Structure formats: C-alpha cells, structure tokens
C-alpha cells in the first residue's frame, strides 16, 4: 500500500514529502522514475533494436584498434580499388586503404560528433529554455524571441554560417552543428519548464524559501530531463547527419580522416569503377542515424504514449 | 485576423533585423584577421592593399557605425562586391536564386505528393501491415543522408543507365536532385501527416459523421482531411525551409547551379561579402515563405479567419 502510494505520487511527477517536511530534490525522484522509464522504453520493439544498434556502434568505436585489421590511413594495405573479398571485406579505396578498417575507425569520429554536438546544444539550449521559463518577464520575452528568430532558419544555414566563421575542420563542424541545434533544445526546455513551474512540488520548494539556484537546478532541472532525453537522442541522429553532410561538402573532416562523410566525398570520383567505396560509409551513416531515431522514437512513446509520430 | 497577421509581420521584420545585425557582425567573429584570411589565397597582396580593403569594408570604423553603414547600403540594394572577381553580390545571388527556388519547389511538390498520401493511408490503415510497411520505409527515409541517396541515384540513373544527364542546369537535370530532396523529406511529411490524421480520426466529430450515416469517402474528404490539413499546412511551410537548407547540399552533389553551390564555394574562398549576402538573402526568402504560410493558415482556419 505504502509502496503503491509512493508510486502514484512519483507518477504524478510530484515530490513525495518525507517526515522531515523538506521537499526532496527532484533528482531523487528522477532516479526513482528512471527505472520505470527505462523498462517502459525497452518494451518498445523499435527502441530495443535502436538500443542494440547503438550498443554495437559504441563497442565498435571503443574496440576499433582491435577490430580493424589495418590502421585507417595505411596506404597500400592492399592493391588500390580491390573488390570486397575475405582480406578486405569492404574492398579498398584508391590508395589501397582497407575500407572496412576506415569505416570501423570512423565510428569513433561519429560518436565524438554525437557527444560534442549534442553536448553543446543540450547544455546551452536547456539553460536558455530553463532560465527563460523560470525568470519570466523581459528575460523570457527577449530570450525566446531570439530563439524563435534563430529557429526560423534551418540548422543547415546556421551550421554553414558557423563553419564560414570558424573555418573548415571536423571539430569546427561539431561545434557548428551543436550551435545550430540550440534553439530546438531551448524550445523544448522552455515549454516543459512552463508546465513544471506550476506544479505543486515547485510551490512547496518555493514556500520553504528555496533560492533561485536551488529551485532551478534541484527542482526544475531534474523534472525537465525526461523530454530532453528524447530530444537529445533524436538530436544525435540529426547531428550525425549534419556533420557528415558538412564533411561531405569539404567543410568538416578533411582527408585522410576516415570520417564517413569525408570518405563519401573522396570516393565519389571512383564511384563508377568501385561503387563499394561509396556504399559502406553511407550504410554506416544510415544505420547510426536509424539507431538513434528508433531509440528516440521508442523513448518518446514510452514517455507519452499518446504522442506517437 | 488583422491582429494575428500584424503579430506575424512584426515577428518577420524582427527576424530580418536580427539577421542583419548578425550578418554584419559575422566578419568580426572570425578568429584572427578576417582581411588577411580572405586574401590568404591570393598571392602577393601588399599590406597597403589589405589596409585599403579594410577601409573599403568599413572594418576600421566603430561597430555601431559599421552596422548603420551596412544597413544603409542594404536598403539601397547594395550587398557589396565579392572578394574574388569583384562582382556585385546581389546580382550574382539573384542570378542563381531562381535555380534554387525551382529545385526546392519541385522537391516540395514531390515530397508532399508522396508524404501526404503515404501518411494518410498509414493513418487510415493504422495497425495493419500497410501502416508498418509505410512507417518502416519512412524511418529509413528519415535516416538516409540525402547526399548519399543523391550519389546513388546519380550513379545508377545517370552514369550506369544513362537515362539522365550527370550535371548541368536544364530541365532533365532537375529530376534527380528534386527526387533526392523530395524523397528524404517525403518521409518526414508522411510521419507528421500520419500522426496529425490519427489525432483527427480519433475525434468525436468524425464518429458523429459516421454515425449520421455519411459515406466513408465523404467523411474522409470533407471532415477528416479538412481538419487534418490545417496543422499540415504549417508543417509544409517549415518543410520549404528544410528544402532550402537541403538544396545547399544537394546542389553540390549534382552540380545544380543554385545559390547553395555558390555559398559553399564562397566559404572555401573565404569570400565574406558573398557569404554575408547569401545568409541575408536566405533569411529573407525563409521569412517571406513563412509569412505566406501564415496568410494561408489564417485563411484556412476559420477560428483565425473570423476573429
């Protein structure tokens, strides 16, 4: 009975009040919700497939030196433009580099892109939305107007502008892609904050005299995290796509980097003689993006079964 | 309706204003000396010449003055001259803009045709194998990098089968880039249409319409489709913006002679006046489209039309 009551309170998103009468930080509640959240997400078939693919990707990236038969930039690992065979499962490129090894090493770069780009947009976007929603008044109006303005351009344009300023390189592409997605995260954080600050737990913490920082970071932040997990998971997909696109255009990773977009860009001249140069890096991008899309969709459905896209 | 539109127009003007500020300050965000970077690729530029460029671009003035001068020129239709070739930026961009708009519009038509039908069918046949098939294709489509799809189509249809030309800017050249851009975006439209239509199908007025004994086609067409269309129209406006962004990449795959290809070259050449002009023009197009969409939206939705 006690347990069920607790569950009901946690489900309602309200903090349960221990005997001491101090509102517990939202983090404790979040941690308790996470287990249920996780099980519910993993009951979705798409999310399970996505999770398996993501795990494989991370393992491949981590163990790249052990999995890849050759170093990624070893020229003349085989003859140039060899068709796929046992020794070179994905064939070789124009310099005789083993494409399989390059795709494997490329996974590391892709993970970096995901972590850094999403890290930037998640941190800056969440803070912007959170502060705007919490502060209200002019702060809210100015911040969100600005976010709307930036949002009205496409991510591609903002990323291009950022690369134009910073100069072409993979790390700059990661930063550019991260900046470009900030408005999206800010909007979600903002709209959830508006809902959460009207909840009872927030008032409870407020009347107990919690300060601004405490209200924002101990009470609001943990409660806006679940929807942001969805946004960030789907955000990895778009970040990987966008960064690969920039690298393909020559504005991101530069040769001889085994970044997948850059590999596609370098291989396009040999498409006719050696289509495998173009196939495998593209498939790698697609599987990665698909994995995070499936996972993100699944988590969203678990969070809000009504809102199925 | 007037207040709704006034609000939207205000937002549009504000967007353009913020863009001009951002664009005019863009050059100062460049790490290092922008003038030196711009001319790094041209051989034998003397420090005096660099100083002259600095003065010509107004970079030696206070920021506020620079912005006012920039706005003054922009309002007279002067976006400056390119670093390479010393050509007027506005003319260059306007000469290429129609190509990009044609590409984005044809892609949008393809995307809507495929996306709306698939999304509607998937929603109507929700839970069946057809729904699963369509939505699986859609998530694969969403996950496909369009430059990769473009390369594969290019290789197969232009190089291998030789049905279509490889590069150029004629009507036959439009097919592959438009399909590339259209198909990947059709997937997004299909997913959104499906969820929007499912919301509508679940509503009471649809049940009422069926209960009245209206034929299914009439309920679908007159009741469901009309109600579902309103959010879809807003979404399609947004899609056009995506198309414009996607066009930048796709133009480079197919050598389509639009502003996107020019912009990428400008970034490589560090031709900042051209980059600035491109961003400003892109912003204006995006804002104009969104205002048009708001008008359409206001006209479609009686709750706004009659306010």
Is B19 part of the contact surface with chain A (CB cutoff 8 Å)? yes
pLDDT digits (tens, 9 = 90+) for A161-177: 889 888 889 999 999 99
Overall CATH class of domain B94-305: mainly alpha
pLDDT digits (tens, 9 = 90+) for A164-218: 888 889 999 999 999 999 999 999 999 999 988 888 888 888 888 888 888 888 8
pLDDT digits (tens, 9 = 90+) for A45-93: 889 999 999 999 999 999 988 988 888 887 776 777 777 877 778 888 7
Tell me, yes or no, whether A38 lies in a domain: yes
Please tell me the total count of domains within chain A. 1
> From the CA of A219, how many Å to the nearest CA of chain B?
33
Q: Chain-centre distance of CA B63, in angstroms?
A: 31
Q: What is the pLDDT of residue A79?
A: 72
Contact by Cβ (8 Å): B251, B260 = yes
Q: What is the pLDDT of residue B168?
A: 63
Residues 197-236 of B with CB under 8 A from A: 198
Is B30 part of the contact surface with chain A (CB cutoff 8 Å)? yes
Residue pointed to by tokens 């494989």? A56
Contact by Cβ (8 Å): A73, A97 = yes
Q: What is the pLDDT of residue A153?
A: 76
For range A299-304, the mean pLDDT: 81
3-state SS string for A31-59? HHHHHHHHHHHHCCHHHHHHHHHHHHHHH
For residue B191, the chain A residues in CB contact (below 8 A) are 309
- Residue of A164, A268, A306 for testing the chain B interface, max B β-carbons within 10 Å: A164
Q: What is the pLDDT of residue A185?
A: 94
For range A248-268, the mean pLDDT: 90
Tell me, yes or no, whether A295 lies in a domain: yes
Per-residue pLDDT band at A18 (split at 50, 70, 90): very low
pLDDT digits (tens, 9 = 90+) for B157-213: 877 777 777 666 677 788 889 999 999 899 989 988 898 888 888 888 888 888 888
Tell me, yes or no, whether A23 lies in a domain: no
Question: Domain segments of chain B: what residues?
Answer: 2-75, 94-305
User: Residue B285: helix, strand or coil by DSSP?
Assistant: helix
Averaged pLDDT, groups of 10, chain B, 307 residues long: 81 87 84 76 74 77 83 85 84 92 93 92 90 91 91 83 71 86 91 87 84 82 79 80 88 89 89 90 88 80 70
Tell me, yes or no, whether A266 lies in a domain: yes
For residue A248, the chain B residues in CB contact (below 8 A) are 145, 147, 249
- Residue of B8, B108, B147, B181 for testing the chain A interface, max A β-carbons within 10 Å: B147
Tell me, yes or no, whether A163 lies in a domain: yes
Res A219 pLDDT > 80: yes
Q: What is the pLDDT of residue A17?
A: 44
Res A16 pLDDT > 50: no
Q: Can you tell me the ipTM of this complex?
A: 0.86
Range of the domain at A157: 2-15+32-303
Tell me, yes or no, whether A97 lies in a domain: yes
Q: Chain-centre distance of CA B297, in angstroms?
A: 19
Tell me, yes or no, whether A308 lies in a domain: no
> Residue A229's domain is classified under what CATH number?
1.10.3720.10
Tell me, yes or no, whether A235 lies in a domain: yes
For residue B287, the chain A residues in CB contact (below 8 A) are 152
């Amino acid at each position: 009975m006690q347990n069920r009551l607790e569950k009901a309170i946690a489900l309602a998103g309200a903090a349960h009040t221990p005997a001491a009468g101090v509102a517990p930080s939202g983090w404790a509640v979040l941690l308790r919700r996470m287990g249920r959240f996780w099980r519910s997400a993993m009951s979705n078939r798409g999310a399970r497939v996505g999770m398996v693919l993501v795990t494989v990707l991370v393992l491949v990236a981590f163990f790249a030196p052990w999995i890849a038969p050759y170093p990624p930039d070893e020229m003349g690992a085989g003859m140039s433009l060899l068709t796929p065979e046992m020794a070179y499962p994905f064939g070789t490129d124009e310099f005789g580099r083993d494409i399989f090894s390059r795709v494997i090493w490329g996974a590391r770069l892709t993970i970096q892109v995901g972590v850094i780009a999403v890290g930037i947009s998640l941190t800056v976007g969440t803070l912007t939305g959170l502060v705007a929603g919490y502060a209200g008044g002019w702060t809210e109006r100015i911040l969100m107007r600005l976010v709307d303005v930036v949002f009205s351009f496409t991510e591609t344009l903002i990323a291009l502008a950022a690369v134009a300023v910073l100069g072409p390189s993979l790390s700059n592409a990661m930063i550019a892609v991260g900046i470009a997605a900030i408005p999206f995260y800010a909007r979600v954080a903002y709209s959830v904050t508006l809902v959460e600050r009207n909840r009872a737990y927030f008032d409870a913490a407020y009347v107990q005299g919690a300060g601004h920082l405490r209200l924002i970071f101990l009470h609001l932040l943990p409660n806006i995290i679940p929807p942001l997990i969805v946004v960030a998971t789907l955000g990895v997909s778009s970040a990987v796509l966008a960064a690969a696109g920039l690298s393909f255009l020559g504005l991101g990773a530069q040769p001889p980097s085994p970044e997948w977009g850059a590999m596609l860009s370098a291989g396009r001249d040999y498409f006719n003689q050696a289509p495998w140069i173009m196939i495998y890096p593209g498939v790698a991008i697609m599987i990665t993006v698909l994995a995070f899309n499936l996972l993100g969709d699944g988590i969203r459905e678990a969070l809000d079964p009504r809102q199925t896209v | 309706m007037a207040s709704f539109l006034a609000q939207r127009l205000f937002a549009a003007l504000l967007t353009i204003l913020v863009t001009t500020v951002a664009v005019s300050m863009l050059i100062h965000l460049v790490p290092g000396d922008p003038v030196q970077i711009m001319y790094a690729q041209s051989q034998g530029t003397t420090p005096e010449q660099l100083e002259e460029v600095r003065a010509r671009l107004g970079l030696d003035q206070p920021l506020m003055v620079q912005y006012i001068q920039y706005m003054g020129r922009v309002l007279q239709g002067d976006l400056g001259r390119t670093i390479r070739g010393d050509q007027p930026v506005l003319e260059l961009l306007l000469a290429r803009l129609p190509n990009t708009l044609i590409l984005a519009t044809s892609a949008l038509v393809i995307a809507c045709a495929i996306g709306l039908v698939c999304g509607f069918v998937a929603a109507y046949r929700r839970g069946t194998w057809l729904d699963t098939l369509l939505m699986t294709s859609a998530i694969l489509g969403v996950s496909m990098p369009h430059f990769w799809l473009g390369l594969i189509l290019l290789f197969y249809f232009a190089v291998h089968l030789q049905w279509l030309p490889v590069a150029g800017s004629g009507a036959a050249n439009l097919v592959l880039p438009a399909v590339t851009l259209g198909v990947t975006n059709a997937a997004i439209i299909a997913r959104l249409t499906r969820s929007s239509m499912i919301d509508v199908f679940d509503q009471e007025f649809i049940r009422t319409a069926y209960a009245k004994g209206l034929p299914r086609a009439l309920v679908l067409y007159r009741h469901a489709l009309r109600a579902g269309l309103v959010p879809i129209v807003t979404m399609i406006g947004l899609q056009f913006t995506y198309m414009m962004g996607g066009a930048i990449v796709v133009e480079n795959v197919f050598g389509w002679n639009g502003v996107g290809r020019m912009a990428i070259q400008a970034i490589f050449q560090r031709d900042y006046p051209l980059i600035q002009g491109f961003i400003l023009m892109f912003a204006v197009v995006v804002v104009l489209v969104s205002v048009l969409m708001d008008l359409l939206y206001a006209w479609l939705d009686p709750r706004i039309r009659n306010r």
